[in-house]
Each structure stands twice: as structure tokens, then as C-alpha cells.
Structure 1
Amino acid sequence: MKKLGLALITALLAVAVIGCAPKNESKTGQEKTTLKYGKAAGPYTVLFEEAVKPILEKQGYQLEVVDFSDLLQNDTALNEGEIDFNVEQHIAYAENFNKSQNGNLVPISPIPTVPAGLFSAKHTSVESITDGAVVAVPNDASNTARAYALLQKAGWIKLNPDVALGTVKQSDIIENKYNIEFVEMDSLNIPPALDDFDFAVITGSIVYNAGIDPSTAILQEDILEHLVLQVVVKEENKDTKWAKDIAAAYHSDEFKEYMKKNNTGLWFVPEELQ
């Protein structure tokens, strides 16, 4: 009887453990085929849905989208395990999130990226700059740095060469020969206010969301490695089969063919994806 009682208890415990398995885990974390991804407004998830999702579905994956109003909410959900991955950020943003939010996010593959550009409603070339011009730049750390790097490329300012280009701030400008007035502001607010400035630096996702023709950029940035967009997961999932399959889909011949047919100048495609 004692043996029978122990066997019954063991069986009940096994059932309880199975019943407590996470709902998103149809299989183990390594083998699961139902994946949730975070979506915020921008071109990167749209590209994923049009070009990569079909590849994964052919392999038997089921993809479920969760919409967020901004990238911070998206990353918070990813960090807390509510979603499995997103394709909305570059390395610099992920690193800033990890530092400020005690996060544990890692990139697993680069993806095509829309470069930041210099735009104007009043001028058509960098040579049109005049003394005292007012220039809008994004106010978040990673994009502020890329904006000043772009303005240095335009020949308007000179940055401290001892400071890494990916971390420069306005205080790192050592030469401002046109006495430019810089207005640092939320990226989302720059396109509607474009008429208020002589020039403005607008990042790729904002260009897309605002419906701006990227070919109207006066100058585009040379994308630094840490500003290339990435597939991002929690560190504990980076070696799972599903994470590797997502990365492989972006490197596949099918995806390369899609980009050849559909890239009309919006996208910078990393060399390893070409």
C-alpha cells in the first residue's frame, strides 16, 4: 500500500509540473514552434512580416504579433519574457536599454537598415548652410551621436577625435564654423516641425513613419556597425533552434532575392546579407 501511495503521489506531481508549463511553450524553449514578436511603428517589422515570416512559416513556425506603442515597451516585454524577439533596434539602443533597465537583451543577426538622413524644407544641398542656421537633431543618446557624425560628414562641424563617434555629444564639437544652433528634440516631433528649421537629421524609422521620400535626403549617414538594426532576443534564448532559424532566414537566398526585387533605395543591406 505504501508503494502504491508513493506511486500515486509521484504521478500527481508530474501532472502538476506539466500543468504549470508556460502557455507559450508548446515544446521546450529550445524546440518551440509558436513564437511571439513585438511590433512598434516602423519599417523593420513590416519587412520581417513580408519577407522573413513566410520563410519561417514554411519551416513550421507559427508567428504571433504583439503591438506596442513604442520601443521601450517592446523591449520591456521582451526582457520580461512576454515576447520572444523583436527587430526594431540597433546594438546601441539595446545596450542603452540593458544599462538603464537592467536588461539582458542580445542581438543575434544584423538586418537591413534605413539610414538617417539630413533633410530640409528650405534647402537642397549642404552648401546652402548659412551662419547661424538652426538644425534639429534627435535627443536620445545613440541617435544624437549619429546626428552629429552626419553633420561632421557634411563638413559643418568637427568632433573631438578622441571621443568614439558612436558616443559623441554636442559638448564634443570642437569646431562649429557656421555657428549652428542645435535643437535636440524627440525624433517623432522633428518631421512635423521641419519648416521651423533650416535642416534636420531624421532617423530611418522616423523617415518611414512620416512618409518622407528617402531620396529627398540631402545627405545620408555612413552607418556605423553599432547602428545597424538587429534581431534581438533575451540572452538565455540566443542559442535556441528557433533563434538560429530566425537569423538564418535573414541570411537565406530567398530573403536576398526579396531584397533585390524590393529595395528601391530605402534600405542599407549589410554585406553579410547580400
Structure 2
Amino acid sequence: MRFINFKKTGIIALALAVGVFAAGCGSENAQGKQDLVFSKSQGPYSELFENGVKPILEKKGYKIVGKDMSDLLQADVALSEGEVDFNVEQHTAYMENFNNKQDGHLAALTPIPTVPAGIYPGAKNSLGDISDGAKVAVPNDASNTARAYALLQKAGWIKLDPNKDLSTVTQQDIIENPHHIQFTEMKSLNIPAVREDFDFIVITGSIVYNAKIDPSTALLTEDILPHLLLQLVVNEKDKDSQWAKDIVAAYHSEEFAEYMKKNNNGLWYVPEVK
């Protein structure tokens, strides 16, 4: 009668099982994380990602879903807590402010196409129509207020204190206002609805898009400062991951460049890839 050495057989079986498991893990690790979640907003940046970048990543085997967020603060909290993997909605100035105030650890990986802020018609349709006591609406949140006043200086309507950083200027930094412009600082989302109450309005790109304002009607657009370029943002712990590198590569790809050539109606400023 043949006796089976159960002890030996068990060891062999265990070894085989460990080998199979290790092989499986090796395959998974080589491939990296494939299922990704991004924070999604009702605006141009999420739409650009879904239409122009997501298809490139799907060809690499990624499965990407958007998780709706009510605002950018909620999106950054979700990113910081690991509920989502990345977002494409903010510039460096906002991200750094979040990190400082919320003890966040978010990292910007690459600038991405950005819609510039612009001066748009209110009751008047030409920059030359600026008159004494003109009424101008500008956004009331810090970073966008500063870019609005920088843009108004570009128009030649005001002069700002040259010793102040353009990224942080306020109404108090205006040293010359020859037209005695009356500024009303208000929530960006509300400006389009009351544009006829003002001679001119200053609005940012996402507001232009959401309000369905034709970007070609801008009377003047800003020279986008580096800290106001939109960024691909991830949690700092993921900045060197393969999937993060692949998203950067997708934004830098020829395929995406071709997409932008075909789909940019003047709304987008596209940063140069270095």
C-alpha cells in the first residue's frame, strides 16, 4: 500500500499557492493602478478632460469615472482624504492656499489649458467707451480679484502700486484711477446675470463658459500669470505614481494637441509643453 506524505504534499501545495499569488501580484504591480476617480465639476475643465484626455488614457487600459463635486473646496477635501485621485479645476494659487489653510498635501504636476479672465461688455461695448464714474463689476474672491485689477491695469484704466505683487493686489493698491471707476466686488457666479447694470464686467474663464458667453466677445483678456494657470493636481503621495505620469503624458501628447487645434474656438489658452 502506498502512503501519502501529507506533510510534504501540504508544503508543496502551499508553495505553489504562494507562487501563483506572487505571480498575480507581480502582474498587478507591473501594470499599476488602472481604476481612477477624478473630482468633476460643471465647467469647461472637466469637460475638456473627459473629451480630450480621458480617451487617450482609456487606450492605455485605464478606467476613469468622475465624482460630482459642488465646489472646488469640496473637491480638494475629497482629494486630500483619498476619495478621488486627481482634479483638473484649480490653479497653483488656489492649491497653495488650500494646503496652507487646510493642512493639505496636494501637488501640481503640469499646467493645462486655461480659460483666461476677460473684460466683457455690460451696458457698453468698447474699451474706448470708458467714462468718468464708470461702473465695473469684478469677482470678490482673493485670487480672482487680483487678476481682475491686473487686467484693468492692462486696459490702461487704472494704475497699481508697482511695489505690490500682482497676484495679491486689492482695490486699496490702486494708486491712479483717472476715470473714477466705481468697482463692485461680488460673487463671480452672480456677475453675468447683472451685467447690464454695469458698464463693464470682469469674469473668469469658467464663468464665461457656464454662463454661455461667447469668448470672442471679450474686449480684453488677461496675460495669464504662471500661478493662475490651471493644473493637474494630485495628492502629494501619488505624484510619482505611474498613473499620474500617464495623465501628464496624455496632456502633453500629440493626440491631445490635435484635439485642441480642432476644438479651440478662442476660449482656451494652451500653455507650451516644456
**TM-score over 0.5 for the alignment?**
yes
CA spacing shift, 1:53–1:103, aligned 2, 3 Å: same
CA contact (8 A) 2:90 2:230 kept: yes
Give the Cα separation in 1 of the matches to 2:234 and 2:29.
16
Count of aligned residue pairs for this structure pair: 254
**Superposed CA RMSD:** 2.2
Q: What residue identity is the alignment partner of 2:208?
A: V
Cα shift readout 1:112-155 (whole Å, capped 9, x = no counterpart):
11111101232122111111111111111111110000000010
Give the Cα separation in 2 of the matches to 1:78 and 1:206.
23
Structure label with greater radius of gyration? 2
Give the Cα separation in 2 of the matches to 1:252 and 1:271.
12
Residue 138 of structure 2 corresponds to which residue in structure 1? 137
Identical amino acids, percent of aligned pairs: 66
Residue 192 of structure 2 corresponds to which residue in structure 1? 191
Q: Which runs of 5+ in 2 are unaligned?
A: 1-6, 8-13, 15-26
Q: Which secondary structure does the structure 2 equivalent of 1:166 belong to?
A: coil
Residue 92 of structure 2 corresponds to which residue in structure 1? 91
Q: What residue identity is the alignment partner of 1:237?
A: D
Q: Which secondary structure does the structure 2 equivalent of 1:232 belong to?
A: strand
CA contact (8 A) 2:39 2:87 kept: yes
Give the Cα separation in 1 of the matches to 2:119 and 2:64.
36
Give the Cα separation in 2 of the matches to 1:179 and 1:97.
35
Give the Cα separation in 2 of the matches to 1:29 and 1:145.
46
- Once the two structures are superposed, the pairs formed by residues 13-24 of structure 1 within 5 Å of their partners are none
Give the Cα separation in 2 of the matches to 1:174 and 1:185.
22
CA contact (8 A) 1:29 1:240 kept: no
Give the Cα separation in 2 of the matches to 1:27 and 1:173.
58
Cα shift readout 1:137-187 (whole Å, capped 9, x = no counterpart):
111111111000000001010011111111111111111111111111111
Displacement after TM superposition at 1:99 (Å): 1.6
Length-normalised TM-score, structure 1: 0.88
Residue 59 of structure 2 corresponds to which residue in structure 1? 58
Give runs of ≥4 in structure 1 deviating > 4 Å.
Answer: 26-30
CA contact (8 A) 1:27 1:33 kept: no
Give the Cα separation in 1 of the matches to 2:175 and 2:147.
16
Displacement after TM superposition at 1:28 (Å): 6.2
- Once the two structures are superposed, the pairs formed by residues 207-226 of structure 1 within 5 Å of their partners are 207-226=208-227
